[in-house]
Amino acid sequence: MASDDDEMSDAGPPGPEVDKLFRAAVRLMGSDLHLKVGRPPLVRVNGVLRPLKRGPIDDDEMERMCDSLLVPRNRKLLDDEGGADFAHLMEVDGKSWRFRVNLFKQMGHLGLVARRVNNSIPDFEALHLPPIMTDLCQYDQGMILVAGVTGSGKSTTIACMLNWINHNYRKHILTLEDPIEFMFTEDKCVINQREVGIDVKDFEVGMKHAVREDPDVMLVGEMRDRETFATAIQAAETGHLVFGTIHAASAPSTVGRILDLFPADMHSGLRHAMASNMKAIISQKLLPSIDKNIGRVPAVEIMAFNSVVRKLIIEEDDEKLSDAIRLGAGDGMQDFTMSLKKLIDADLISQDTALEVAPNEQLLKMALKGIDVAQGGLL
């Protein structure tokens, strides 16, 4: 890997001043670029933020760099709402790269965080995802959510699933994104990608249009609010396979996260809608790998909606969902403990890393000793 000095000394082709920093992030194989007034630019490499070897950014430089990225619509969003999301495309060493950019105001200064989006979409094996992922892609109807914190690989996992469908079925895939991240190359599927703010006014209008556009598979981006989830679950009810992401710490806690979007008097009906239409909730955490050829790998929890899970959700026994996942191991389900053990056994992560992030350290220690943690006291 080139040093930070090498990256910053190579100005590359002419372009906006900020592109020098984007170029450094690409060449360092960084996942994110952080710009903050008063600090040098930082690049996240293998999960760790590292400063580039140059001076701190001042307000004038930040204003100059950000202004070069903004079209009038995003400038208005920044001024009116204090933040704007958009995509930035650039070329590095003859290859095109795409960044998902969030520009925001903090304590009277501008700040910027940009996520690098890989050009190619990896397959399940390359991402070290479990075999059940292929099965989940074969549904004709329903909803599949990928949960996790920011930077946990949710978008990459969904892109991988959509691309598997693209290579194996003749369907119409429609995405509604803010902004578009992965660019798909059509294989067997027809794929239309719509970006909020450019191709369509907002998610609500985009979803209204979507039902008239004959999609088989839909990506509705992040479940940020009641309207987005309600529209997405309705699309699942009417015969579409719907993918989305949500911020939640685990698959079982995602149920509560969804309920929190709605008033209490709607929870009973919502539970029945989830039980009827949800096919799976996948939760992820990205962890540093001990394999020198791999940066990070996902620990993956999968809660498939079998009869036990559906019954527990309808009867509001959410505290038993974790046991249901462990007991469903034969159906391809796994909790974080089971996933962490598999990653250790495959020499992909260290025991120290696994124990640090394990939801239940004692259960993981038992699993590492060969005790079958899939057996629980559920029913």
> Does the pLDDT at position 44 exceed 70?
yes
Per residue in 3-28, pLDDT tens?
A: 444 443 333 344 578 999 999 999 99
Edge-to-edge strand order for the sheet containing 109-117?
A: 48-51, 42-45, 32-36, 109-117, 95-106, 83-92
Q: What is the pLDDT of residue 374?
A: 66
Q: 22: closest CA among 76, 69, 77?
A: 69
Q: What is the CATH number of the domain that holds 48?
A: 3.30.450.90
In the listed set 83, 117, 151, which residue is the last one of a domain according to the structure?
117
Cα separations in angstroms, 164 against 22, 69, 187, 264, 278: 30, 33, 10, 38, 20
Q: What is the pLDDT of residue 5?
A: 40
Q: How many domains does the chain have?
A: 2
pLDDT band at 372 (very low <50, low <70, confident <90, very high): confident
Assess if residue 337 is contained within a domain: yes
Assess if residue 160 is contained within a domain: yes
Q: Are 332 and 342 in contact (CB under 8 A)?
A: no
Q: Please tell me the total number of residues recorded for the chain in this structure.
A: 379
Assess if residue 374 is contained within a domain: no
Mean pLDDT calculated for residue range 232-244 = 94
Report the chain's mean pLDDT, rounded to a whole number: 90
> Does the pLDDT at position 236 exceed 60?
yes
Question: Rounded to 5 degrees, what angle do the CA atoms 186, 190, 191 make?
Answer: 75
Which of 178-182, 285-289, 314-318, 335-339 comes out lowest in average pLDDT?
178-182
Mean pLDDT calculated for residue range 330-342 = 94
Q: 191 with 326, same domain?
A: yes
In the listed set 72, 95, 117, which residue is the last one of a domain according to the structure?
117
Mean pLDDT calculated for residue range 190-208 = 87
Spell out the residues 6+ positions from residue 326 whose beta carbon is closer than 8 angstroms to its own: 333, 335, 337, 338, 373, 374, 375, 376
Assess if residue 20 is contained within a domain: yes
Q: 110 with 229, same domain?
A: no
Torsion of CA 162, 166, 172, 176, to 10 degrees: 30
Range of the domain at 194: 124-368
Assess if residue 104 is contained within a domain: yes
Q: 71 with 189, same domain?
A: no
Cα separations in angstroms, 132 against 122, 128, 158, 177, 333: 16, 12, 14, 26, 8
Per residue in 54-84, pLDDT tens?
A: 999 999 999 999 999 998 888 998 999 999 9
Q: What is the pLDDT of residue 109?
A: 95
Exposure of 70 in the CB half-sphere (CA atoms within 13 A): 21
Q: 113 with 166, same domain?
A: no
Q: What is the pLDDT of residue 330?
A: 86
Q: 176 with 251, same domain?
A: yes
Q: What is the CATH number of the domain that holds 319?
A: 3.40.50.300
* CA distance linking residue 361 with residue 337, whole number of Å: 8
**Helix 203-210 with 226-237: angle, nearest 10 deg:** 10
What does residue 104 show for φ and ψ, rounded to 5 degrees?
-145, 170
Q: 92 with 177, same domain?
A: no
What does residue 130 show for φ and ψ, rounded to 5 degrees?
-70, 160
Assess if residue 379 is contained within a domain: no
Q: 101 with 234, same domain?
A: no
Q: Are 77 and 96 in contact (CB under 8 A)?
A: no
> Does the pLDDT at position 345 exceed 70?
yes
Q: 62 with 201, same domain?
A: no
- Greater confidence (237 vs 118) lies with 237
Q: 18 with 112, same domain?
A: yes
Q: 356 with 235, same domain?
A: yes
In the listed set 117, 136, 159, which residue is the last one of a domain according to the structure?
117
Which of 115-119, 251-255, 278-282 comes out lowest in average pLDDT?
115-119
Assess if residue 67 is contained within a domain: yes
Assess if residue 317 is contained within a domain: yes
> Does the pLDDT at position 184 exceed 90?
yes
pLDDT above 90 covers a percentage of the chain that reads 73
